[in-house]
Amino acid sequence: MPPREPPKPSKPSQSAGPVAAKRGTDGRVLRPKRPSAFVTIKDVAAHAGVSVATVSRAINDNGYVAADAKARVLAAMKQLGFRPSQRARSMRSSRTMTIGAVVSELVNLVHLEFLRGVDEAASQAGYVVLVATSQGSPEKEREIFQRMVAERTDGVVVGTLVGGQRSLDILAEHNIPVVPPPGPLAKQLNASWIDKEAAATREMAERLIALGHRRVAFVTARGVSGIRTPSFYRKARFEVLVDCFSRNGVELNVVTIPRGVTTSEMASEVVKAAHGSSVPTAWIAATHLVLPSLLTGLRMAGLDIPEDVSVIGYGDSPWASAYRPPISVVGHDVSSEAKALTSMLLGWIEGESPNVAKVEYRTRFIERDSIGPAPLAKSKLSRSGALSRTRPVPASSARP
């Protein structure tokens, strides 16, 4: 069989002169269309001026998208020639019956309660939970999400998000549902959480004021991994305390202890703060994670609870009520909240729109035997040295 002749080179096309550049709806010059296979959801997001998550919600009609944002997304898809991958959609319809659950660390017993609620709700629906911890690292969190994409996880429940929208975009790009859902729904959930937590914090502060406490310490951890305290934690806890105490003539001090060291090393910072002529008579642990170090430090300083100092924590657990004396807390029904979030995720996987109204935050101040009346001047507190590691906080500069 004779070999085929090589194809003749095509003649160059004759140009009729310069062609006016096409412009999009926003007036920007449009780049030439690439084949749809090479246009990604990130291209659409950048062209429309929205996030990847917004594009994903607009394409899949899952969750809220503002009308103008959706119009920009659809226009960008048309201008770029983008078509959603049917292969990706078919892969998502083939479920693995697994969901991911991500928290920052497992040493926090509140996180264990959260995971227990996720597992109970998932198990009842026939799903298996893949648990991962970010250890407070945004980079590790993104690696976890990428692994969950590779494992074709059906959805993800996030207990603690440290990497922000950049991490969530990894899931959104592959149409993987995540709760709390990003965008306005997340803001709605956060607002509800803040309202309930702030109300319980206010009740706790008023109780301390009624018991005669006029010097209070707020004990917080100084992160070693660059984590910033979420704004809703500040609003619901520290800023509420500043407001309540400043209006009632109560001095609020911040005691900062380092993270990433042993409990005894953390406790030694509390010991330093507990030796002064004006030692706080009430101590509040900013999170459940710093509470053991606070209790250890107060014990090392020779202070008795509640005779010398009152103690309150954030986040409840069985050991808080089993401790002697039992610790007063501002606590959530974390397990029930996790069940509600997981149920919302499973409904989303089944094709329902996320309904944040189903998530009810049950936060309350639980008074136990760790608080009592402010001690008199003759107590152990009057026999201490300088209060070297606490700093008064004016109401105008509320930052833990």
Q: When comparing pLDDT for 204 and 135, which is higher?
A: 204
pLDDT in the model for residue 271? 77
- Amino acid identity for residue 397 in this structure: S
Confidence of residue 12 (pLDDT cuts 50, 70, 90): very low
**For residue 367, what pLDDT band results from cuts at 50, 70 and 90?**
very high
**Number of residues in the chain:** 400
Instruction: Give Cα separations from 370 to 202, 267, 295, 325, 374 (angstroms).
Output: 18, 18, 11, 6, 12
Query: Cis bond leading into 181, ω under 30°?
Result: no
pLDDT score recorded for residue 278:
75
Given a contact cutoff of 8 angstroms between Cβ atoms, the answer to whether 238 and 194 are in contact is no
The dihedral built from the CA positions of residue 231, 236, 240 and 241, taken in this order, carries a sign that is negative
Tokens of 329: 């807390």
Question: Which is higher by pLDDT, 90 or 204?
Answer: 204
Measure the CA–CA gap between 290 and 272, rounded to whole angstroms: 16
Domain at 36-84: CATH architecture: Orthogonal Bundle (1.10)
Could you tell me the two tokens for 176? 């993987």
Query: What mean pLDDT do residues 266-291 have?
Result: 81
Top-ranked range on mean pLDDT: pick from 181-190, 231-240, 248-257 = 248-257
pLDDT tier for residue 29 given thresholds of 50, 70 and 90: low
Give the CA radius of gyration of the chain: 28
pLDDT of 3 over the 50 cut: no
Q: How many Å apart are CA 224 and CA 266, to the nearest integer?
A: 13
pLDDT at 166 over 60: yes
Exposure of 132 by Cβ count < 10 A (0-12 exposed, 13-18 middle, 19+ buried)?
A: middle
Residues 363, 365, 369, 375: is their CA dihedral positive or negative? positive
Digit-coded pLDDT (tens) for 293-326: 889 888 888 889 999 999 999 999 889 999 999 9
**Given 3.40.50.12780, 3.30.420.40, 2.40.50.100, 3.40.50.2300, which CATH number is that of 189-327+368-397?**
3.40.50.2300
Concatenated DSSP letters of 38-76: G--HHHHHHHHTS-HHHHHHHHHT-S---HHHHHHHHHH
pLDDT of residue 88: 55
Average pLDDT over residues 122-131: 93
Q: Which fold has domain 89-178?
A: Rossmann fold (3.40.50)
Every domain of the chain with CATH number 3.40.50.2300 lies at 89-178, 189-327+368-397
pLDDT at 397: 43
DSSP, res 175: T
CA dist., res. 102 & res. 141, Å (int): 8
Strand-pair partners of 310: 282
